[in-house]
Amino acid sequence: MRTILESWQVWAFLSAIFAAMTAILAKVGVQDINSNYATFIRTVVIIIFLTVILAATGEFCPLSSITRRSQLFLCLSGLATGVSWLCYFRALKLGPVSQVAPIDKLSLLLVAVLGVVFLGEKLSDRNWLGVALMATGAILLIFKR
């Protein structure tokens, strides 16, 4: 029997909650400083936080135990994350969080399409409808009347 902590849905929902908190907290935090420097501070906090988690759980492992392929893709993912964060914090600095975040969440549509194209994932018609509704909702939130 699976526990609640073994459910990807629970972790995805928690991710959404913390992503929402991130947007609000970052919008307030970036008001009085350069957005790139704000991203740097956030990254340092994340590194310290993850170092403590890995040390406490004994999950550190030598880089040599990770395949070159995994190392390459994790590095590329890290670069993409860094660029994404720089862009996100700049957008938060310049625009309202209520409109920046929905545009950022258009990544949901891109992830679904890229998952199908590059990873061979399958989405049902119902799944595609959900993706389309999320994209529509994000677009509706972008434009204020």
Write down the pTM of the prediction.
Answer: 0.82
Report yes or no: 102 and 142 within 8 Å, Cβ to Cβ.
yes
Amino acid at 70: S
Domain residue extents for the chain = 7-104
Alpha-carbon distance 9 to 47, whole Å? 25
pLDDT at 2: 76
Q: Is the dihedral of CA 10, 15, 16, 18 positive or negative?
A: positive
Looking at residue 96, the DSSP 8-state letter turns out to be -
Instruction: Name the H helices within the chain.
Output: 8-29, 35-57, 68-94, 97-104, 107-119, 125-142
Report yes or no: 84 and 92 within 8 Å, Cβ to Cβ.
no
Whose tokens are 């909650």? That residue is 17
Tens-of-pLDDT digits for all 145 residues of the chain? 678 888 888 988 898 899 889 999 999 999 999 999 999 999 999 999 999 999 999 999 999 999 999 999 999 999 999 999 999 999 999 999 988 888 898 898 899 999 999 999 999 999 999 999 988 888 887 776 6
The torsion angles phi and psi of 69, rounded to 5 degrees, stand at: -60, -50
Alpha-carbon distance 25 to 122, whole Å? 36
